[in-house]
């Protein structure tokens, strides 16, 4: 199973919006609504930010939103804040005859 | 609150074995599938293995299949990862992860570092 494709880096100024894309195939991202997104600050464990393509866990700011079209999922962060600077990873369930998960390569978000 | 505490990491020579443990608390351990996810230094996340809530199903990433074994002990609320025939490329922080709705990783441990080096 190949890793999902994400841009290596994105940047934005405080208050702006950014979008991170995550491209897979019809066997993973495009197969069902099972994409999730994780935020990871340096030296910390990842944190679930979005699940089922576009759902937010309780406690996650509504500035974070997810969407999907075909084989590409997207994470949008609006009203950028300094604390949003982190690495972001998408993940998709990719199992057909087995259980399998695949992550994206990660995107470094820099808040200018 | 949910707590996942990994242990067992360290430095090991290529070809040797190591067992990681993850002590779980704050939730009904026997009701949830559990995973191991790893992250090589400076690299991205890689899914490693999953075990079903009752231990009856186990699946592995191709990179570790045949070398790693995931298991759980419900009496101890503990998840394990037995790693054998370790390779330099297995060097990573290994995270113990609880799932939400079977498909999403909602709680992560702090991770334990495994370094495979001669």
**In chain B, which residues have their Cβ closer than 8 Å to the Cβ of A91?**
45, 47, 105
Instruction: Identify whether the C-beta of residue B101 lies closer than 8 Å to the C-beta of residue A93.
Output: no
* Beta-carbon separation of A47 and B95 below 8 A: no
User: In chain A, whose CA is at the least distance from the CA of B108?
Assistant: A45
In whole angstroms, what is the distance from residue B35 CA to residue B61 CA? 11
d(CA A7, CA A106) in angstroms, rounded, equals 7
> What residues in B contact A1, CB-CB < 8 Å?
61-62
Neighbouring-strand partners of residue A64: A77
Judged by CB atoms closer than 8 Å, whether chains meet at B44 and A3 is answered as: yes
Above pLDDT 70, what percent of chain B? 100
B103/A34 touch (CB, cutoff 8 Å), yes or no: yes
pLDDT tens for the 112 residues of chain A, in order: 678 999 999 999 999 999 999 999 988 899 888 999 999 999 999 999 999 999 999 999 999 999 999 999 999 999 999 999 999 999 999 887 788 899 999 999 999 9
Q: Could you report the per-residue pLDDT of B84-108, keeping only the tens digit for each? A: 999 999 999 999 999 988 899 999 9
- pLDDT score, position A1: 67
DSSP bridge pairs for B6: B22
- Model confidence pLDDT, tens digit, residues B8-59: 999 999 999 999 999 999 999 999 999 999 999 999 999 999 999 999 999 9
Give pLDDT tens digits for B59-69: 999 999 999 99
């Amino acid at each position: 199973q190949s890793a999902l494709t994400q841009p290596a880096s994105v940047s934005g100024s405080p208050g702006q919006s950014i979008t991170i894309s995550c491209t897979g195939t019809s066997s993973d991202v495009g197969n069902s609504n099972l994409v999730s997104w994780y935020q990871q600050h340096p030296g910390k464990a990842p944190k679930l930010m979005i699940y089922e393509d576009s759902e937010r866990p309780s406690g996650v700011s509504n500035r974070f939103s997810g969407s999907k079209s075909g084989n590409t999922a997207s994470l949008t962060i609006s009203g950028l804040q300094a604390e949003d600077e982190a690495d972001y990873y998408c993940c998709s369930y990719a199992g057909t005859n087995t259980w399998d998960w695949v992550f994206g390569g990660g995107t470094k978000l820099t808040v200018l | 609150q949910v707590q996942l505490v990994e242990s067992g990491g360290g430095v090991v020579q290529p070809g040797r074995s190591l067992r990681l443990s993850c002590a779980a608390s704050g939730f009904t351990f026997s009701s949830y599938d559990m995973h191991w996810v790893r992250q090589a230094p400076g690299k991205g996340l890689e899914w490693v293995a999953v075990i079903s809530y009752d231990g009856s199903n186990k699946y592995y990433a191709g990179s570790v299949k045949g070398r790693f074994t995931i298991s759980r002990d419900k009496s101890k609320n503990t998840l394990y990862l037995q790693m054998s025939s370790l390779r330099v490329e297995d060097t990573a922080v290994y995270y113990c992860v609880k799932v939400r709705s079977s498909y999403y990783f909602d709680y992560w441990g702090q991770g334990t570092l495994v370094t495979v080096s001669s």
